[in-house]
Amino acid sequence: MEAAVAEKEAGMTEWNDGRLDELSGRVDGLSTRIDGLSGRVEYLTGRVDELSRRVDQGFAHFNARFTQVDARFAQVDARFTEISGQLSALHQLLVRVSVGGAIALAVALIGVIAT
């Protein structure tokens, strides 16, 4: 009986050793694949960082250009405000002249009618 148990244990040990060797080979294979993927992930991370830097530079460029355009619009707005003030003064002068002209015309008509 003891011989049968010892023979069975020997068989199990052989099976376990073979199975462990196979699993060890698989783990080594997976480790190699993971190392390869790790290098790929590092490459992609570097690429993403580079693209992110380029996008940030692009946004900085656009921001500078928009700041320039905004300053130009502020100059144009100031000029329009100045022109509007000048036109308002001219409009007031024209209203005064036309009111004065209307009064002069009314006086002249009254004078013509009175004579």
Res. 46: pLDDT tops 90 = yes
pTM: 0.45
Q: How far apart are CA 39 and CA 44, in angstroms?
A: 9
Residue 32's SS3 state is helix
How high does pLDDT run on average in the chain? 83
Res. 43: pLDDT tops 70 = yes
Is residue 86 very low, low, confident or very high in pLDDT (cuts 50, 70, 90)?
confident
Q: How far apart are CA 35 and CA 50, in angstroms?
A: 23
Residue 62: its pLDDT value, please? 94
Is residue 15 very low, low, confident or very high in pLDDT (cuts 50, 70, 90)?
low
Q: How far apart are CA 82 and CA 18, in angstroms?
A: 94
For the segment 54-67, the average pLDDT, to the nearest whole number, is 95
